[in-house]
Structure 1
Amino acid sequence: MTVILLRHGVSASNTARTLAGRSTGVDLTDRGREQAQAVAARLGALPIERVVASPLLRCHRTVAPLAEKLGLEPEVDEALVEVDYGEWTGRALEELVKEPLWKVVQRHASGAVFPGGEGLAQVQQRAVAAIRARDRALAAERGRDVLWLACSHGDVIKSVLADAFGIHLDGFQRIVVEPASISVIRYTPTAPFVWRVNDTGTDLSALAAIAQQQGEKASEPVPGGEVGAAASTDNGNAQRPDARSE
């Protein structure tokens, strides 16, 4: 069984440099809508048999063009929802980077619990359980291999990939998952195999931006998302103004 993990496209929170978390009504930007159409064009010819998404609007907007092209009705899976960032929700990243918890999120993710929210270890547990359970259910239902897609959020996808790689959650910040990127995991009876990570097709613009940062301060991931040169520029991602975390 093979699952395509799709991160939603660029959202309004990405460009506002805030941590959207589970805030309702956070929609895609024009760039995000373009990405959603590009995903549909790129994946529309594949034999995808199920499309599942986080209940948040930005994920629904991202999968809608693809689901329409495939003739499928997207299913909602609450277990794929964004991290509950609790009191951090809605705050600017330039403020959050000053919090003591920030360094814990970067270096000891398994011990990070957001005030009034959930811990990253909890996020991994629920997300991995949901992906594996749905994978088993599809295998039992169809009696054969099935290609399906799950649309979720940066930290959620990274935690699932860490599990598939067999690495500790404390290392998951080393995985980069950009908006509208796909990562692919094939689950077998013995072990999962990672086929793709952060695949954005022919768009390599992020590489040029990374090269331009040589000599700057080493960058760190922001909660929920990519690597960036501190949170003062585009929610922690100086490489791409539209590449935010949730």
Structure 2
Amino acid sequence: MSTVILLRHGRSTANGSGVLAGRMPKVGLDDTGKAQAEALVERLAGVPLAELVVSPMLRCKQTVAPLASANGLAKTVEPRLSEVDYGDWTGRELKTLFAEPLWRVVQAHPSAAVFPGGEGLAGMQARAVAAVREHDARITAEHGEHAVWALCSHGDVLKALLADALGQHLDAFQRIVVDPASISVVRYTETRPFVLRVNDHGSDFKGVVPPPPQKKKKGRKKKSGGPGESDAVPGGTTGR
């Protein structure tokens, strides 16, 4: 299967004011977020992106706009990658939510957390994982197993995707940090995902691009019994 770059949107106006934006309309990037979006072009300059898949929220669309323009890519909007529906918590200041009984559940037992008037975190993870795996299978079929594509979504959504890729229960997803404009990378295979980067703020991502497939020599039979692309190397990889 292919490799997916998990991109969190740049800093939004809500991030800067301590408000849980959720699915509030017209929440865009602040000046810092706009600069982060522009910087993505150079950060990912060495990565041949096949496609961009994006949450329908404005801040995500704004984040990938410079990247899409620089690479001549259209944006595929995927509703299942949208922000968590926080229901009655939407638009409230984070400092007022600390005292809510549900806050402790969100921290310690998130798989049981259901936001009043909204959705549960377990349901969010299910929809997001299904979306990523479906798009990955489609992009692999269209562009090949060595394709690299990017998606832009939200903090809790990306943490849930990484927990799934790491084989962790959702109750452990609060141990994962995903900052605004950070990049995480997952390579999916037939048997398991491999997590290549988490919460990376660097600018060299050429190492996550899979090497081109080797051409088979005529008359040469494929050896059996060797490690496959889904196998982990004991002792760690040797790098590139």
Structure-1 residue corresponding to 2:175: 174
CA distance in 2, matches of 1:117, 1:168: 22
Cα RMSD after superposing both structures: 0.9
- How far residue 41 of structure 1 moved from its aligned partner, in angstroms, is 1.2
- How far residue 138 of structure 1 moved from its aligned partner, in angstroms, is 1.2
- How far residue 145 of structure 1 moved from its aligned partner, in angstroms, is 2.2
CA distance in 2, matches of 1:26, 1:104: 27
Q: Percent identity?
A: 60
1:149 matches 2:147: no
1:20 matches 2:21: yes
1:68-107 equivalences in 2 (<5 Å): 68-107=69-108
Structure-1 residue corresponding to 2:31: 30
- How far residue 184 of structure 1 moved from its aligned partner, in angstroms, is 0.2
Check whether the contact 1:186–1:193 (CA below 8 A) recurs between aligned residues. Answer: yes
Check whether the contact 1:44–1:70 (CA below 8 A) recurs between aligned residues. Answer: no
Structure-1 residue corresponding to 2:138: 137
- How far residue 142 of structure 1 moved from its aligned partner, in angstroms, is 2.7
CA distance in 2, matches of 1:48, 1:141: 13
CA distance in 1, matches of 2:143, 2:169: 33
1:186 matches 2:187: yes
- How far residue 75 of structure 1 moved from its aligned partner, in angstroms, is 1.2
Check whether the contact 1:18–1:90 (CA below 8 A) recurs between aligned residues. Answer: yes
Q: Number of aligned residue pairs: give it.
A: 202
What code does the residue aligned with 1:87 have? Answer: D
Check whether the contact 1:181–1:198 (CA below 8 A) recurs between aligned residues. Answer: yes
What code does the residue aligned with 2:137 have? Answer: R
- How far residue 73 of structure 1 moved from its aligned partner, in angstroms, is 1.1
What code does the residue aligned with 1:28 have? Answer: L
CA distance in 1, matches of 2:63, 2:174: 24
What code does the residue aligned with 1:69 have? Answer: A
- How far residue 146 of structure 1 moved from its aligned partner, in angstroms, is 1.1
Check whether the contact 1:44–1:66 (CA below 8 A) recurs between aligned residues. Answer: no
- How far residue 198 of structure 1 moved from its aligned partner, in angstroms, is 0.1
CA distance in 2, matches of 1:180, 1:29: 12
- How far residue 39 of structure 1 moved from its aligned partner, in angstroms, is 1.0
SS in 2 for 1:201: coil
Q: Deviations over 1:172-217 (max 9, x none)?
A: 0000000000000000111100000000116xxxxxxxxxxxxxxx
Deviating more after overlay: 155-164 vs 32-41: 32-41
CA distance in 2, matches of 1:114, 1:40: 36
Check whether the contact 2:19–2:93 (CA below 8 A) recurs between aligned residues. Answer: yes
Structure-1 residue corresponding to 2:8: 7
The runs of at least 4 consecutive aligned structure 1 residues that moved more than 4 Å come to none
CA distance in 2, matches of 1:105, 1:144: 37
What code does the residue aligned with 2:197 have? Answer: R
Residue ranges of structure 1 left out of the alignment (5+ in a row): 203-246
1:159 matches 2:155: no
Structure-2 residue corresponding to 1:207: none
Residue ranges of structure 2 left out of the alignment (5+ in a row): 204-240
CA distance in 2, matches of 1:92, 1:65: 30
CA distance in 1, matches of 2:144, 2:5: 19
- How far residue 32 of structure 1 moved from its aligned partner, in angstroms, is 0.3
What is the TM-score when the length of structure 2 is the normalising length? 0.83
